[in-house]
Amino acid sequence: MNNTGKDIVVIGGGLGGLMTGALLAKEGFRVTVLEKNHIIGGGLQCFHRHGSIFETGMHILGGFMPGGTLHKICAYLGIIDQLEIRHTDAGCIDSVTFGGADGATYLLPRGKEAFGHYLAGRFPRQAENLRRYMDAVWSLSEEVDLFHLRTTRQDILRAHSEDFLMPADEFIAKYITDPRLAELLAYMNPMYGGVAGHTPAYVHALINVLYINGSSMFAGGSQQMAEALAGIITSAGGAIHAGDPAAGISIDQPERLIGQVTTRSGKTYKGDLYVSAIHPCALLALLPEKAFPKSYRDRLQEIPNSYSSFSVYIKFKKEAHQPFVNHPCYYQSAHGRIWKLCEYDEETFPSGFMYLTPPARKQGPWAERMTVNCPMPFSAVAQWAGSRTGHRPPAYEAWKERCLQHILDKLETVRPHIRADMEFCLASSPLTIRDFYGTKEGALYGYNRDCKNMALSQLPIATKVRNLLLTGQNINLHGICGVPLTAIETAECIVGNGNIVKKINEEYDRRKQI
């Protein structure tokens, strides 16, 4: 199919917009990406402080092991060899520590068999239950064809197994009778915004299969992936415009077609098709009210968002000798909190967090940096919602400092001498994420997927504006794997169902034969 001469305007230069744009550029379209920030990438963005680089969102990668979904997609796009990827240790992809007198630490290995065998050794009475649980998790992942890059795909809202839309906490409890083990198996909750009674089991399964099969980290920062995707777009004759946000979208009636996008500086962009990769509520603010029926606009506003995060960024002194750890570490201050991470109480905050030492390009035995992510709901900062970065009131700054010190207190219990070894540290809150990413309520994973109302929390890619499509983490799946898979679906709405997936698999097979 020759698409030369056809123009596509993508609103939003995060992973979803860049991946969709790169896939369409490879199909022969001229792609223009409009990004509000001066730096492209969304969750891939990095920032620099005093000579150090820090990732803002994309800390842990799944699917980049050889044969993994992201490895195949990036090989097809021709960028896999441009990315500096460091795989986590096979013997320990994650460590999980519970605080308190009866706490324990678990070192979880890579691979379904090794993962299950290790936990069976720690919980021998649950060995058979664990086997059945692991089989059920992998079985659920097989029900999502796109996750495995299969061309014949089943819609998530269509008929599935009994477990598929069961609440994830009930799914685990169906197989596991030991409450400590059941809690441990939910440790990846911060990777998908898990909420008891609401998060569907298939989301839990996809995330666990993705990372248990092998996790990775960017060496030297995640911005490299954003730049690689942008290079595909520009080398195909497209353009990236950053730092000039879209300010309005005109609709030609009665055809119900976008006429043009106008940016804050007054520039206009026209295309044959338009793709929105921003939060749907941010899209509504750009469109005239008549673009969508009131029922659709109300629906977009009413869908609950996932929780956000309070993050700490630490730079160590050169002489500190804080060890580099080649995997993420999860900490829970006590048992019984894993499904309550979306709750907030300043007196007990944080009840849990994930911390890691991101690798440098030439990583030695000592860590240069550390990032700590603590789940936090937007309600914790709602009283300051009217403020913006650089203009926060003193009460907010005092609260932020208290949160930082609470985190460092608990971090010291698992990484002694943190305060003494810091050259400096920075902190961000859900307000920072909201303003930086432009996502409603600073939601880390966009809209919540709620098994009690999946029709509400799943949005179709096509819209009633005939030349407007949607992409990004709010539409189907989230994260480093889910967003590219959604990008494939969006691109295939234009070039034909299964066409891009077929090419991805053909390219991977070709490479294997070389």
Indicate whether 112 and 233 sit together in one domain: no
In a domain, 95, yes or no: no
In a domain, 96, yes or no: no
Indicate whether 30 and 117 sit together in one domain: no
In a domain, 90, yes or no: no
Which of these, 51, 7, 43, 44, lies nearest to 25 by C-alpha position? 7
Any idea how long the chain is?
Answer: 514
| 199-226 pLDDT per residue, tens | 999 999 999 999 999 999 999 999 999 9
The total of structural domains in the chain comes to 3
Q: What is the rounded CA–CA span in Å between residue 478 and residue 429?
A: 21
pTM score of the predicted model: 0.95
First vs last Cα of the chain: how many Å apart? 27
Which of 421, 444, 467 corresponds to the end of one domain? 444
| 384-405 pLDDT per residue, tens | 999 998 899 999 999 999 999 9
In a domain, 63, yes or no: yes
Position 1 pLDDT exceeds 60 = no
Indicate whether 79 and 156 sit together in one domain: no
Using alpha carbons only, give the angle 238, 239, 241 rounded to the nearest 5 degrees.
Answer: 160
In a domain, 400, yes or no: yes
Indicate whether 70 and 23 sit together in one domain: yes
Contacts of 339 (CB under 8 A, 6+ apart): 169, 186, 189, 194, 195, 196
In a domain, 472, yes or no: yes
Indicate whether 334 and 431 sit together in one domain: yes
Structure-model confidence comparison of residues 155 and 15, the more confident one: 15
Structure-model confidence comparison of residues 205 and 43, the more confident one: 205
Q: Which domain holds residue 260?
A: 7-85+221-303+446-513
Question: What CATH number has the domain bearing residue 286?
Answer: 3.50.50.60
The helix/strand count (H/E) of the chain reads as 16, 20
Q: Half-sphere exposure (CA, 13 Å, Cβ side) for 174?
A: 16
Indicate whether 40 and 77 sit together in one domain: yes
Indicate whether 180 and 226 sit together in one domain: no
Q: Which residue has the tokens 């034969």?
A: 513
The three state secondary structure string of 92-104 is ECEEEEECCCCCC
Which of 391, 424, 444 corresponds to the end of one domain? 444
- Percent pLDDT > 70 in the chain is 98
Q: Which two tokens stand for residue 427?
A: 């902190």
Indicate whether 412 and 499 sit together in one domain: no
Indicate whether 335 and 367 sit together in one domain: yes
Q: What is the pLDDT of residue 512?
A: 86
In a domain, 97, yes or no: no
Indicate whether 109 and 256 sit together in one domain: no
Which of these, 387, 453, 434, 429, lies nearest to 279 by C-alpha position? 434
Which of 411, 444, 477 corresponds to the end of one domain? 444
